[in-house]
Structure 1
Amino acid sequence: MKSAVETLNPTRVRLTVEVPFEELKDSLDAAYKKINQQVTVKGFRKGKVPARIIDQRFGRGVVLEEAVNDALPKFYTDAVNNAELNPLGQPEVDITELKDGETLNFTAEVEVRPKLEIPDYSGIEVEVDAVEVTDEDVEKAVQQLRERFASTTPVERAAQDGDVVTIDLEAKVDGKVLEDGIANGVSYTIGSGELLDGIDDAVKGLEAGGEATFTSELKGGSAAGKEAEITVKVSQVAERELPELDDEFAQLASEFDTLEELKADSRKRLENMKRYDQATQAQERVLEKLLELVEVPVPEKLLEDEIRTRKHNLEEHQLAQMGLTLDKYLELQGKTAEEYENETREAAVKGIKTQFVLDELVAKEKLNVNQEELTEHLMRRAASSGMSPDQFAQAVVQNNQVPLLVGEVARGKALAVVVEAATVKDTNGEIVDLEDEEDNEAADTAEASADDKGEGEEKAEA
């Protein structure tokens, strides 16, 4: 077999392949055997029809077509390997010549990973938010904890801000009560903003037994996004009582004996959260700088597949679960259809570029993924998906997605290498040491940036 490669553009090539006819022998034998099992010829037992009879009865062309279809994938793969190409997706194959007993010639056009030059990235510098926890931050955290331990006491008076009311709701659209528009015994804290717009004004001033009607846009259900007439009836008004902020509260709400110990722990937790956010911010900004340094051609078909995948995931899964149409979603987001299209394309381009660059770094730095790293990543992915590690692992194996997870970990390690070489300063001008956070954060950042994941390319290569 002879093959040659013609570069059509940085992300697309044409392979020209010439196959001597003798290399089709195994496929021809397999074709005769397959046809033998499918046909019945009088005078011959099934599966024992001679090749010359098959040629006479059904035509040599049928056999050649079956043989070529069987052989093409192997010849194409050999040509790809000989040229050391990294194809993306399926090729467009055209048989240019087929002479029985002489030769098989074909061409195959396919998108390929572009060859990238990764420049020196050690000079990357980024600025991130400083880790600063104020007394006000601590007081707010303790206050939120205090809210969780609030008690309620029924009162015989009109409802007011901060009260917890027990209510029955009925929603009508165009004068008809919705099948899913009735809810009884709902507990609601006035001012929390957790239910419908307008409900706070409707229930304030009502005592137990009182009711009111107001108009609001439904946030979910069968009529999500529509204006509805809501009738709310109050069955109980309860006053919230917050515990005193003292040592007794600290013992009730935590493992600490004193309020000061509780506050010190809250400060530490807030600092850890801010360091986590700082590390994530550093990863994202270093990645942006890295992408600016590398010229990355994006295969057009891969890009269109990625855009289509992202749109499908949003429109058919995320919005469908929320009961929203795309038009309603765009209205709520204050975006036009054109802005949505542009943002989706930009995100898809960034995802593909991220994957290409980090994969190139994985090869350049000769990074490997061990079992411990893969297991740790699987545990994090399982937690974020709401599945148990065993369930998530089983799903990964069943869907043949282990290579995808390995790729995510490897790209995370590649990004960590770049971050380690970069200079990261906070807004106070201090050098930030991200060593403790680096690997896990980089894996998450690389995964999110290629998300939802350079997903089109992952599928194309799989």
Structure 2
Amino acid sequence: MNITVTPEQPQDNKLTAKVTISAADVDAAIKKTYAEIANKYAFQGFRRGHVPRPIINNMMGLESILAQATNDLLNAADPAIVEELDVTPLGQISFGDEPAIVVEHSDYEATVTIDVRPEAELESYDAPEVNMPPEEVTEAEIDWQLNQLLSYQMTYEDTDEDREVAEGDVIGVDIQNVEGAGHLAAENRTVTLNGMQLPAELQEAIVGMKPGETKDVEWVKSHEHEGEVHEHKFCVKVTVKAIKKAVTPELTDELAKKNFGYETVEKLREAVKEEIEADKKTSLPQLKEDRVVEEMGKRLQLDEVPENYKNEIFNELAQEFLAQLQRQNISLDMYLAARGVKADDFIADLHAQADERTRQSLALDAVAKKMGFEATEADVEAEFERAGIEDVKAAVKQWKDQGRLPAIRDSIKRTKALDYLVENAKVTVKDEVAERAEAQKAESAE
């Protein structure tokens, strides 16, 4: 397509450009529209594909034909405009509410508007200072990993505490079904009052009770079925048996052998050390990148990120996460239930992640611009090669024709910016696990 694009300076995160499409492309779009109509519809007295234009004009209307040709022409021009401007649009390119209709044998001119990411400044473009765990394995890290393993062996025992039950407590309860709640009935059932294991109405009634206390609890649930509202009544007799405490077993040679398959605690520690060492080789470089980009995101001088950009990143994160669950053959409901997470809290957390990532991406954009990093043709081809594409030239052409190369170039420039920052970041090594353990010990002592 022969197209000329003249951009103006972006304002309020919108890029405006004058676009001119050649008369030859206009005529080709009109010809294509007539051909499609002639092949799609049956016109009495004519074979499909062999219908004169005047006949089609009389049946379909010249204005509607040219309107369709205009729409097809503009859709075909989208990728070329994006490539010419080398921008990654947020949403669709706008040709205005009522784009002009094409005129045969004439160039087509239009003004396009594209929502783009904002260009922001940073408080400082210098590589940041970050804290990092040591490359070698520390005793504190081994202890922490062992405590994690022991937590899976945790049991709950009754206590003598004589106080009111509070949210978050682990308790033992008897639940006797009186009406409609057979699925809840149990003796000395261990439950955590975290809003996930019991109906909200039942948990609310239990909070404030004391061990040995019995209470009748009733509540009603409504649901709609085939346009009718149905109510279901629940009634239980609940008795709080005891407030429970978590008990973690002591790590002994016997436990190490029985539960983890190692002859002694020392051999178990050695195995855990080797596992941590292997993990650090892959996790520390990524951790450094994450911390560097997190610090740069804090330097962004931008009060509010455009909502459409945040929504785009939110959708990307959601799709990535759902794809990961699908590969593991796990539904979102299963994931949330297994972790005791409410759907609203999960979505709110995903929005928070999206907000953070948008600021970090804009910070890397700012560094790339400041440092003059560019994405060359060789860089783009190398990106496709790393993805394992066999015919790189063909793939690059396809992405160019689809208007998708600007996004690749943006990614390459951000990667160059990040590599520069990571290479020049000042690192302070800290045994963060040991510090965290000391803080927890001090908190417990208080």
Q: Which amino acid aligns with 2:306?
A: E
Letter in 1 for 2:130: V
Shift of the 81–277 alpha-carbon distance from structure 1 to 2, 3 Å rule, reads: closer
Q: Is the 8 A contact 1:248 1:258 kept in 2?
A: yes
Q: Partner letter of residue 296 of structure 2?
A: L
In 2, Cα distance between equivalents of 1:200 and 1:140: 34
Structure 1 counterpart of 2:423: 420
Q: Indicate the residue corresponding to 1:56 in structure 2.
A: 58
AA of the residue aligned to 2:427? V
- Distance in structure 1 (CA, Å) of the matches to 2:218 and 2:413: 49
Provide structure 2 residue ranges, at least 5 long, that are not aligned to the other structure: 161-169, 220-233, 322-331, 389-405, 433-446
1:299-341 CA deviation, whole Å, 9 max, x = no partner?
A: 7352363488599999xx7799669585xx69xxxxxxxxx7x
Aligned to 1:381: none
| Partner Cα distance (2:82, 2:253) in 1 | 72
Task: Kindly report which structure 2 residues correspond to 1:142-291, keeping only aligned pairs within 5 A, or say none.
Answer: 145=150, 148=153, 160-161=158-159, 169-170=175-176, 177-178=180-181, 181-184=183-186, 188=190, 212-213=214-215, 231=237, 246-263=252-269, 265=271, 282-291=288-297
Q: Is the 8 A contact 2:214 2:238 kept in 1?
A: yes
Structure 1 stretches of 5 or more lacking a match?
A: 153-158, 206-210, 218-227, 331-339, 375-402, 430-462
Q: How many residues of Structure 1 are paired with residues of Structure 2 in the alignment?
A: 358
| 1:45 matched to 2:63 | no
Contact 2:10-2:16 within 8 A present in 1 as well: yes
Distance across 1 between alignment mates of 2:74 and 2:252:
78
- Using the size of structure 2 for normalisation, the TM-score is 0.56
How far is 1:90 from its partner?
0.7
Distance between the aligned counterparts of 1:297 and 1:90, measured in 2? Answer: 25
Report the CA distance between 1:99 and its aligned residue.
3.7
Report if the CA contact (8 A) 1:214-1:230 is conserved.
yes
Which residue of structure 2 aligns with residue 384 of structure 1? Answer: none
Rounded Cα–Cα distance in structure 1 between residues aligned with 2:280 and 2:143: 13
Aligned to 2:114: 110
Residues 111 and 419 of structure 1, relative CA distance in 2, 3 Å threshold:
same
Alpha-carbon spacing, 1:14–1:142, altered in 2? closer, same or farther (3 Å): closer
Cα displacement (A) at 1:287: 1.5
Report the alpha carbon displacement of residue 76 of structure 1 after superposing the two structures with TM: 3.6
**3-state SS of the aligned residue for 1:86?**
coil
C-alpha contact 1:142 1:263 (8 A) present in aligned 2: no
C-alpha displacement of 1:125: 1.2
Across the aligned residues of Structure 1 and Structure 2, the Cα RMSD in angstroms comes to: 6.0
Partner SS state of residue 18, structure 2: strand
The normalised TM-score by structure 1 is: 0.54
Shift of 1:71: 1.4
Conserved in 2, the CA contact under 8 Å of 1:15 and 1:109? yes
CA contact (8 A) 2:22 2:107 kept: yes
- 1:138 maps to 2:140: no
- 3-state SS in 2 of match to 1:44: coil
CA contact (8 A) 2:23 2:108 kept: yes
Aligned partners of 2:304, 2:261: CA distance in 1, in Å?
A: 54
SS at match of 2:81: helix
3-state SS, counterpart of residue 91 of structure 2: strand
Bigger relative contact order, structure 1 or 2 (CA pairs below 8 A, ≥6 apart): 2
The one-letter amino acid of 1:13's match is: L
User: In structure 2, how many angstroms separate the alpha carbons of the residues matched to 1:265 and 1:26?
Assistant: 70
What is the letter of the counterpart of residue 153 of structure 2?
R
C-alpha contact (below 8 Å) 1:12/1:110 kept by paired residues: yes
Quick one: percent identity of the two aligned structures?
20
Task: Give the letter aligned to residue 138 of structure 1.
Answer: D
The equivalent of 1:220 in structure 2 is: none
Distance 1:320 1:67, change over 3 A: same
